[in-house]
């Protein structure tokens, strides 16, 4: 019996990395779809902003938390511009202390566009309080097109309709479990963006980003 138990534990342990890998691949595919659809939609991501972006974060299926009223949580990917194109994607979590009333508890697909290379190190750090950045703004509207001082722009939609939430209390942190699933070891988002080759599972996402963010 003990031998069977050890075999079962070993089998379960072997399956976990495969499940994590499949989940990561599915979320990368969803993130690529979100990028394509938000740039194609009327009133969506402005091409001129993407063409000048330094880093882009995509969080598909951001959810309002069930346990804490008003809180929200999502997992996504970040890629930054490099001389030869776009970097391998790091993985991030996005959390908010309050979603406000604008999305009504629905899932929301979010794209965050950073226009300022000087903020890159903060975006890739262990914790970046987006809500404390005075230049962060919801981009579905005036700030996306007319406010040059907005250096971090949020775009999003829920059920095909563009929507927003308060960026107050929004924080970005590394998604370490996804990083390990995608790259096979622990590393920082800074290391990934600066030094890693693009893994096969992430190529469609990076290719889509390069396509929608062409100069």
Residue 31: closest CA among 59, 6, 4, 51 = 59
**pTM for the predicted model, two decimal places:** 0.81
29 touches 23 (CB < 8 A): no
- Average pLDDT of span 42-59: 85
Residue 161: closest CA among 213, 96, 107, 209 = 107
40 touches 101 (CB < 8 A): no
Q: What is the pLDDT of residues 124-140, one digit of tens each?
A: 999 998 877 767 776 66
Q: What is the pLDDT of residues 6-45, one digit of tens each?
A: 333 333 333 333 334 458 999 999 999 999 888 876 667 8
**Structure-block tokens of residue 128:** 């970046």
Per-domain residue ranges for the chain? 2-212
Q: What is the pLDDT of residues 73-109, one digit of tens each?
A: 889 999 999 988 999 999 999 987 754 444 445 678 8
Return d(Cα 22, Cα 77) in angstroms, integer.
Answer: 15
Does residue 165 surpass a pLDDT of 50? Answer: yes
Q: How distant is the alpha carbon of residue 6 from its chain centre?
A: 38
**High-pLDDT (> 90) share of the chain, %:** 42
Residue 181: closest CA among 23, 30, 74, 11 = 23
| Lookup result for tokens 């979320």 | 27
């Amino acid at each position: 019996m003990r031998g069977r138990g050890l075999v079962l534990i070993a089998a379960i342990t072997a399956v976990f990395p495969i499940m994590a890998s499949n989940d990561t691949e599915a979320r990368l595919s969803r993130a690529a779809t979100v990028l394509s659809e938000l740039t194609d939609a009327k009133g969506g991501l402005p091409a001129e902003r993407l063409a000048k972006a330094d880093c882009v974060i995509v969080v598909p299926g951001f959810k309002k938390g069930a346990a804490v009223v008003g809180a929200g949580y999502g997992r996504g990917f970040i890629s930054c511009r490099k001389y030869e194109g776009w970097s391998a994607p790091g993985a991030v979590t996005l959390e908010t202390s309050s979603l406000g009333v604008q999305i009504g508890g629905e899932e929301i697909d979010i794209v965050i566009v950073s226009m300022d290379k000087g903020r890159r190190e903060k975006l890739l750090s262990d914790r970046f309080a987006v809500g404390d950045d005075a230049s962060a703004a919801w981009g579905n509207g005036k700030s996306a097109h007319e406010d040059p001082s907005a250096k971090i722009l949020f775009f999003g939609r829920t059920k095909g309709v563009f929507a927003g939430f308060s960026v107050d209390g929004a924080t970005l942190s590394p998604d370490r479990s996804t990083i390990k699933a995608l790259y096979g070891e622990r590393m920082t988002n800074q290391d990934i963006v600066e030094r890693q080759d693009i893994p096969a599972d992430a190529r469609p996402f990076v290719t889509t980003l390069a396509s929608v963010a062409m100069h």
